[in-house]
Structure formats: C-alpha cells, structure tokens
C-alpha cells in the first residue's frame, strides 16, 4: 500500500509521466525568463492502455527513456531561487499527486544554461546538471492515496482523462512566489486510454457447450468491440483429439494466408478484420461442411508500453446442419400404377411395393424425370400405351 509521503522522485515522475502526450507548443513561458519543454517517448504515446508493469522500469523508475526534456535560462544573467512543482489530476477524482521542491533547497541556472532531464537523471537529492542540492516534498494527495488503494493491486490504470502540470517558479523574500514557466497536457480524450480492450461475440453460435446449429454455410460473424481496432478472426473444425483451446492456439501461432502463412489442416478461416462483422467468404477459406462442428474466436494485439499484448475473446461454437432431405418420390396414382405395371410387369411391381421400395426417378432417352414431372410423363406414357402408340414387348 502506498502512503502519502515523499516518494522516490524519479519513479514518481515516470509513473505519472505516462499520462503525458504533449507537443512542444504546449509550453507556456509567462515572462520569457525560463523555458520548459517535455517530450514523451512513442512507447507511451502509442500505448492503447497504460500498464505500469509494461514500461521496462525497475523499482527506482530507471529503464527506457520515457520522458525527457529541458529547463533553460533564457537570459544572460544567473536566475536563482528556482523550484519545481508537479501536479497530476484524474478527471473523475481530482488532484492525485503534488510534488514540490522543498523550501530552503532552491536551484539556480547560469546565463543561457540548458539542463537536459529524463526519468533516469532525476533523484530525490537533485537533478543531474544542476549543482545545487534539490530535495522534494509531497507525493500522493489524500485523494491520490485512496485512488491507488482502489486499484487493489492492479498495475493498469482505469479509463479516465488524466492531466499533468509542471511548473518552474521563483520564490524570493522580496516577491514571494512567481511562476516562470509551466507545461500541462492531458491524455484520455482523443487517445483511447483504458484498462482493457473488451469485445463480445454475437453470432454465429454460442459458448462451446450450447450446441447451436446453423443452416447457412456462409454465416455472418459479428461482435461488439471498440471502433478502429483490427481483429484476427479464426475458425477451426472440431477434432476428436484436440481441445478447442489448443486448436485455436495452434492456428494463432502461424501467420494468416494473406501474410504469407497457410491454413492448417483443421483450420477453415484465418483473416484480419477491422470492424464488427465479417461474412464467411465463398473463396479464400475452406468451405464449412454440413454436420461438422466449428469453433471461432477473435483476438487483437495492443501496444502496452514496450510490450505487445494479445487479447482474446471467448470461444464460441456452432454446427452446420445437415441439409434437409426432401421426398421427391413419384406419387403413385391409378394412372402411374397402370403405366408402371405395363412397363415392368405386375409381378415385379407388386414385389417392389411389398418390399418398401419407392420410385424416385426414371430415365428416358438420357433424360431423368422425378417428382411431379415424372408423374406427368408416366400418365402420358399410359395414354400412348392404351392408344397403341407405344407397343411393349414381353409379358406381364
């Protein structure tokens, strides 16, 4: 648990600098005595969510250069009695951090001196490049302490709009406190900052034990997710020896066909999709087979600090139904019965009927007839037989 006290300034500023995404024009210099500028590494600015354990830092806040910048004396005279104040705000909570140079420990800048700083050059007792000993007071505010405790051990910050303000001020007996330069910025507005990237499957199918059947061999896959995120959609066929999890994991370990990979033996579809739906294609995928069960899952890769993290959805399943068999048997009317008896003989006809056979189709001159059309043709044959237009050889 964090206590409200003087934290290691290097780690604190790095932890809080993850909220920054600010171009140089954000710098405000009230009287052009001191300039202040901060730059943020792409590791932070490109992150889709903020995970403090993914920044490559040790317990002292050292590691990759995540935040850097400079403080510069713009005059030709020594500027003395300088202090630094850092404030951090969470939109839903208020001020969560306040760190200020300790009274009695100011620093000075020589004429036109520029001091480069980054998260690895700060310490509790000073700033590299400044000869004066600088100490800091402050840390988490009461609200900040409650905020950290509310994370309950999580190292991922909740979705919110975070802002930071850094001020360089001069404090003299003569004039009191005078702010010389400040910089402020926020993240969480236009840039998506969230504790997780969630997506939920909608169709087809349901969770793996729901036994849902579908009839369309080209189903529409749909889900609920965040706008602008690219998803990888995988569809695999059920296996008697492998679990759905292992099948999908194996499929994910190889590249999609459009990226130089190939579909595995049990894999039907592997494609990247931007949006929230995808129609199963008639080409570029293995056709779904009637009677087979399939599993599908979405995944997406997101930038988290220096790492790429993969998020996956639930696994859903569906079974493609067998096509319904339609009874196209020829309807046996009195006319068709007479025609068939004339064609095959009464004994043969009775034997076939008593054995449970039905007539599905017949062929004349290479043309196959079935269903209602066959009934019409048989009736026509009977009329021609009775009219003597067709003479059958052999006996009945």
Question: How far is C-alpha 132 from the geometric centre of its chain's CA atoms?
Answer: 49
Q: Residue 253 has what pLDDT?
A: 93
- pTM metric for this prediction: 0.47
Where the chain has pLDDT below 50, the residues are 1-11, 13-30, 52-61, 188-196, 305-306, 395-396
Q: Residue 3 has what pLDDT?
A: 41
Residue partners of 383: CB distance under 8 A and separation at least 6:
none
Angle at 59 between CA 54 and CA 65, to 5 degrees: 60
The residue written with tokens 């010389």 in the block is 180
Helix (H, G, I), strand (E, B) or coil at 319: strand
B/e letters for 262-280, b = 16+ CB within 10 Å, e = fewer, are ebeebbbbbbeeeebebeb
Q: Residue 325 has what pLDDT?
A: 56
The residue written with tokens 């790429």 in the block is 308
Q: Which two tokens stand for residue 212?
A: 């849902």
Instruction: State in Å, rounded, how far the first CA of the chain is from the last one.
Output: 101
* Model pLDDT for residues 49-101, shown as the tens digit of each residue: 555 444 444 444 455 666 677 889 999 999 999 998 888 888 888 898 888 88
Fold that domain 200-320 belongs to in CATH: Immunoglobulin-like (2.60.40)
Q: Where are the domains of the chain?
A: 9-187, 200-320, 334-386
Rounded Cα gap, residues 135 and 68, in angstroms? 20
CA-closest candidate to residue 66, choices 42, 48, 41 = 41
Rounded Cα gap, residues 91 and 19, in angstroms? 12
CA-closest candidate to residue 93, choices 147, 18, 54, 17 = 147
Rounded Cα gap, residues 396 and 379, in angstroms? 19
Quote the DSSP letter at residue 212: -
Q: Residue 362 has what pLDDT?
A: 75
Task: Compute how many other C-beta atoms are within 10 angstroms of the C-beta atom of residue 11.
Answer: 18
Q: Residue 66 has what pLDDT?
A: 62
């Amino acid at each position: 648990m964090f206590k409200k006290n003087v934290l290691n300034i290097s780690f604190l500023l790095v932890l809080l600098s993850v909220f920054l995404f600010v171009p140089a024009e954000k710098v405000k210099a009230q009287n052009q005595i001191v300039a202040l500028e901060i730059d943020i590494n792409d590791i932070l600015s490109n992150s889709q969510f903020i995970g403090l354990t993914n920044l490559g830092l040790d317990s002292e806040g050292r590691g990759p250069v995540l935040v850097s910048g400079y403080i510069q004396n713009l005059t030709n005279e020594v500027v003395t009695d300088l202090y630094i104040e850092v404030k951090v705000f969470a939109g839903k909570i208020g001020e969560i951090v306040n760190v200020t140079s300790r009274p009695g420990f100011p620093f000075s800048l020589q004429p036109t001196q520029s001091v480069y700083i980054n998260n690895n050059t700060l310490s509790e007792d000073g700033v590299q490049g400044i000869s004066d000993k600088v100490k800091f007071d402050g840390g988490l505010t009461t609200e900040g302490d409650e905020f950290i405790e509310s994370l309950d051990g999580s190292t991922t910050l909740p979705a919110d709009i975070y802002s930071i303000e850094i001020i360089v001020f001069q404090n003299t007996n003569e004039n009191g406190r005078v702010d010389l330069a400040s910089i402020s910025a926020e993240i969480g507005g236009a840039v998506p900052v969230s504790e997780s990237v969630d997506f939920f499957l909608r169709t087809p199918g349901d969770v793996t034990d729901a036994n849902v059947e579908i009839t369309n061999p080209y189903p529409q896959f749909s889900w609920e997710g965040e706008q602008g995120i690219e998803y990888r959609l995988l569809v695999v066929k059920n296996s008697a020896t492998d679990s759905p999890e292992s099948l999908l994991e194996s499929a994910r370990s190889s590249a999609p066909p459009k990226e130089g990979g190939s579909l595995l033996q049990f894999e039907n579809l592997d494609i990247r999709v931007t949006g929230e739906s995808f129609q199963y294609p008639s080409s570029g995928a293995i056709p779904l087979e009637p009677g087979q069960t399939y599993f599908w899952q979405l995944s997406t890769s997101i930038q988290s600090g220096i790492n790429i993290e993969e998020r996956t959805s639930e696994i859903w399943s569906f079974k493609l139904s067998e096509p319904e068999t339609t009874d196209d048997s020829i309807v046996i009317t009195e006319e068709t019965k007479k025609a068939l008896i004339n064609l095959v003989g009464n004994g043969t006809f009775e034997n076939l009927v008593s054995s449970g056979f039905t007539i599905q189709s017949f062929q004349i001159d290479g043309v196959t007839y079935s269903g209602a059309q066959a009934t019409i043709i048989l009736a026509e044959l009977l009329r021609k037989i009775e009219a003597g237009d067709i003479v059958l050889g052999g006996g009945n």
